[in-house]
Chain A
Amino acid sequence: MQLSGNNVQPETSSKTLVDLRRGDAATLDHIDLPGKDARRLMELGFLPGVRITAGHSAPGGDPRVFQVDGSEIALRRETARRLKVRLDKTRPAPGMP
């Protein structure tokens, strides 16, 4: 896990869970949250390297359910934004080189 050093959004190549639409899958890179919060997320299966699939959401897309490590966990947008992911190569996001 990394602690957020600066709040400046990195370049466009950095994706988060928020960028996933229903059915999209990605690999978790790191959690950009304080240690205690990151630990709870990890206990629920959000470990670096794990594959996450976006599922259903509440009306309006927030919060959204994510399938991770055999469970379905709902996260709010504000939390999902802190989970940095690498998109799976099989489904490149539009606009990616």
Chain B
Amino acid sequence: MSECGDCHGCGAASVVEFPGPLASPKIVALAGPPNSGKTTLFNRLTGLRQKVANFPGVTVEQHTGIAELPDGRSVGIIDLPGLYSLSPQSEDEQVAHDVLTGERPDTPRPEAILLVLDSTNLSRHLMLAAPILALGVPTLIILNMADDLRNRGGHVDTRQLSAQLGAPVALVSARQGEGIDEVFEFLASAMPAPAPMELPVLHDVPKCREWAGRVGSRASYRPPVPPKWTRRLDSVFLHPVAGPLVFAVVVVAVFQTIFTAAVPLMDGLRWLFEVSGKWVAATLPDSIFRSLLIEGVWSGVGSVVVFLPQVLFLFLFIGILEDSGYLARAALIADRTMARVGLQGKSFIPLLSAYACAVPAILSTRTIENKRDRFATILIAPFMTCSARLPVYTLIIAAFLPNRPVLGPFLGARATALLGLYLLGFLAAVVTARVLKSSILKSGHTPFLLEMPSYRWPTMRSIGLRLFDRAKVFLRRAGTVILLVTVVLWIMAHLPPVNGKAPAIEDSLAGTVGRTLEPIIKPLGFNWKIGIGLVTSLAARETIIGTLGAIYGMDPESHKLGLQKALQHDLTPGGAVALLVFFAFAMQCISTIAVVRRETGGWKWPILQFTYMGVLAYGGRVPRRAPDQVIAASPPPPLPETRW
């Protein structure tokens, strides 16, 4: 149960890091209940100067940023996980508690606290002010969502409230940027400690609530009228018939749009790489270096970067759903399904974010208090179709499936196939969860609590920051892991030299690795080229595209064909299906394995998970024909070179 249970073997804990140099070592913490708009304020204060890491030793996400004060000084800001009280029940809350009380040796105790409360629900949110003020640390009480409060006829006397609490109070709208100056003023000031006031007994929740109500009414707090639009929208989105229908339409619309809206951008990127590649080839003299640059870097990294628009579209949708408040409704609708496999509704959010990437999803399972539920969610999260699989899927589907309409102009065959693959991963996750929850991870009940936030318009700023962050992560991976793998592959493909020249690709070191693997993967319909791709994709799934791009680029037989055509030449349709199934099931991601090891505190669970998923991936596609026939089958009739 101790935090150190997670960190044995992970080396010395590093000290909390900020995204840049701090002029003055002033560090403040941003604290508040979930749904108080804390993250929006954090984004508002720090802009692009943010850094996401983990608190050393535990796996709670640590968001740090630097706020630039108008006088030019800068302040370090730590965004803490959401808190309902300072008597922690989940690891998230434990970390927030320990940072605020200065009990984490790796994190300097914050000099001040920015306590963010939802002004439209002040009486309840004020409860958190009692334990925070009791810490005696300089605190600014930020009443967020001031625009909402005003528009819905609410009111609060901030001066009175400040007198009641013995601490400065600022009425702020983080979304609109209103009142941010007051926050900066506080940060620039001497930041006085709160005046000693009478506080309730902190462990007595009814007493705390009573106190909060009293303080609120003395500050003439008038709660706003219930949000009319939220009620109206909920009578559609939570309608017994219309609700699930909207849910289904949203899911289908997301997938279909990824495949129509992203196409021109992807074509543009592809064109850019082609043109720049040709330019580089024409400019540089013929050398080993040019060959590495063109065959390794351009065709390897380029073929992955092309998928950036699709990944960004996915995150755009997740961002809109989350920020608008619809995601909580989706979790509500999905809860029955989750309950059927033995999981709780809180697992839905991590599982949904696993569609983007399993790593943050696994990190976000920390909000699930029940340890067994959390482990089950961690173990099934990598089955959800992460964005790294998306380029692999789209490439193979595009190469093998003509885009016939399935549901009129609304749903094409390719989108349907993709949807099917998403469904396949989901079903594997569900069945696995069922098995786990009725065997090794059986557990009692924890109450399912889900707060329904009011609907809000997502802001460009918040979504934009998120997309920027994602693009950074994607490009960093393309520029590091994938670049490294393609370069190593290129070198292996050029060794050992024959008469001073590169060997034929199948005689090279890389080819030898692939051909060693061939007998094992032959039953699935894969040849040695795909085998090399499977090895390199262990680093990151999408690397297989760069790998194949590089191999085909170096192979004189196929280098004139595009990647799609070359694949058609190399794989039978059956082999293509097997490859898709393999990618749907196999746990080919070193980052995920690493994060599971850290989250579960040992190698037991990741090894079990890797083996289980590997067996599924290999056994998932039982060949219908004799293996030899599959390999020897003539290439399928060429499809017209179609674009997405």
Which residues of A are interface residues toward B (Cβ below 8 A)? 33, 36-37, 39-45, 47-48, 55-60, 62-63, 65, 67, 69-76, 78-79, 82
Q: How many residue pairs between the two chains, A and B, have CB atoms under 8 Å in the bound complex? A: 104
> Could you name 20 residue pairs across A and B whose Cβ atoms are closer than 8 Å?
A37-B446, A42-B209, A43-B205, A44-B451, A56-B238, A56-B239, A58-B333, A62-B336, A63-B332, A65-B332, A69-B123, A70-B121, A71-B451, A74-B449, A74-B451, A74-B452, A75-B448, A76-B345, A78-B447, A79-B449
Q: Is B281 an interface residue (CB 8 A)?
A: no
Q: Is B234 an interface residue (CB 8 A)?
A: yes
Nearest-CB residue, chain A, relative to B226: A67
Q: How far is the CA of A60 from the CA of B240 in the complex (A)?
A: 7
The interface on chain B, measured as residues whose beta carbon lies within 8 A of the other chain's beta carbons, has a size of 37
Q: Is A69 a contact partner of B124 (Cβ separation < 8 A)? A: yes
A65 CB contact (under 8 Å) in B85, B238, B241, B345:
B238
- Say how far A55's CB is from chain B's closest CB, in angstroms: 7
Q: Is B506 an interface residue (CB 8 A)?
A: no
How does the 8 Å CB contact mask read for B590-632 relative to A, with 1 for contact and 0 for none?
A: 0000000000000000000000000000000000000000000
Q: Is A47 a contact partner of B209 (Cβ separation < 8 A)? A: yes
Given contacts A43-B127, A58-B333, A58-B335, contact A73 B449 (CB under 8 A): yes
Q: Is B102 an interface residue (CB 8 A)?
A: no
- Which of chain B's residues have a CB closer than 8 A to the CB of A60? 240, 336
Q: How far is the CA of A76 from the CA of B220 in the complex (A)?
A: 35
How does the 8 Å CB contact mask read for B211-255 relative to A, with 1 for contact and 0 for none?
A: 000000000000100100000001100111101100000000000
Q: How far is the CA of A79 from the CA of B445 in the complex (A)?
A: 9
The 6 closest A-B pairs by CB, nearest first: A56-B238, A72-B452, A42-B205, A79-B447, A74-B450, A70-B121
B332 CB contact (under 8 Å) in A70, A74, A78:
A74
Which residues of B are interface residues toward A (Cβ below 8 A)? 84-85, 87, 89, 120-121, 123-124, 127, 205-206, 209, 223, 226, 234-235, 238-241, 243-244, 328, 332-333, 335-336, 339, 345, 445-452
- Which of chain A's residues have a CB closer than 8 A to the CB of B345? 63, 74, 76
- Which of chain A's residues have a CB closer than 8 A to the CB of B123? 69-70
Q: How far is the CA of A59 from the CA of B339 in the complex (A)?
A: 14
Q: How far is the CA of A67 from the CA of B121 in the complex (A)?
A: 12
Q: How far is the CA of A36 from the CA of B445 in the complex (A)?
A: 13
Q: Is B120 a contact partner of A70 (Cβ separation < 8 A)? A: yes
Q: How far is the CA of A72 from the CA of B329 in the complex (A)?
A: 11
Q: How far is the CA of A42 from the CA of B345 in the complex (A)?
A: 20
Q: How far is the CA of A65 from the CA of B333 in the complex (A)?
A: 11
Q: Is A59 a contact partner of B89 (Cβ separation < 8 A)? A: no
Given contacts A39-B205, A65-B238, contact A44 B336 (CB under 8 A): no
Q: Is A57 a contact partner of B238 (Cβ separation < 8 A)? A: yes
- Which of chain B's residues have a CB closer than 8 A to the CB of A57? 238
Q: How far is the CA of A48 from the CA of B345 in the complex (A)?
A: 26
Additional A-B contacts beyond A43-B205, A65-B238, A75-B449 (13; CB < 8 A): A37-B446, A39-B89, A40-B447, A44-B84, A45-B124, A45-B209, A60-B240, A63-B332, A69-B121, A72-B452, A73-B449, A74-B452, A79-B449
Given contacts A47-B206, A76-B448, contact A71 B244 (CB under 8 A): no
- Which of chain A's residues have a CB closer than 8 A to the CB of B84? 40, 43-44
Q: How far is the CA of A83 from the CA of B181 in the complex (A)?
A: 44
Q: How far is the CA of A14 from the CA of B375 in the complex (A)?
A: 38
Q: Is A63 a contact partner of B448 (Cβ separation < 8 A)? A: yes
Q: How far is the CA of A33 from the CA of B205 in the complex (A)?
A: 15
Q: Is B447 a contact partner of A37 (Cβ separation < 8 A)? A: yes
Nearest-CB residue, chain A, relative to B33: A43
Q: How far is the CA of A56 from the CA of B446 in the complex (A)?
A: 22
- Say how far A30's CB is from chain B's closest CB, in angstroms: 12
Q: Is B335 a contact partner of A76 (Cβ separation < 8 A)? A: yes
Q: How far is the CA of A73 from the CA of B333 in the complex (A)?
A: 14
- Which of chain A's residues have a CB closer than 8 A to the CB of B332? 58, 63, 65, 74
Q: Is A58 a contact partner of B124 (Cβ separation < 8 A)? A: no
Q: Is B449 a contact partner of A40 (Cβ separation < 8 A)? A: yes
Q: How far is the CA of A70 from the CA of B451 in the complex (A)?
A: 11
For A33, A42, A57, A75, the residue with the greatest tally of chain B CB atoms inside 10 Å of its CB is A42
Given contacts A42-B205, A47-B206, A58-B335, contact A65 B124 (CB under 8 A): no
- Say how far A67's CB is from chain B's closest CB, in angstroms: 8
- Which of chain B's residues have a CB closer than 8 A to the CB of A65? 234, 238, 332, 452
Given contacts A43-B84, A69-B124, A70-B120, contact A59 B447 (CB under 8 A): no
- Say how far B120's CB is from chain A's closest CB, in angstroms: 7
Q: Is B205 a contact partner of A47 (Cβ separation < 8 A)? A: yes
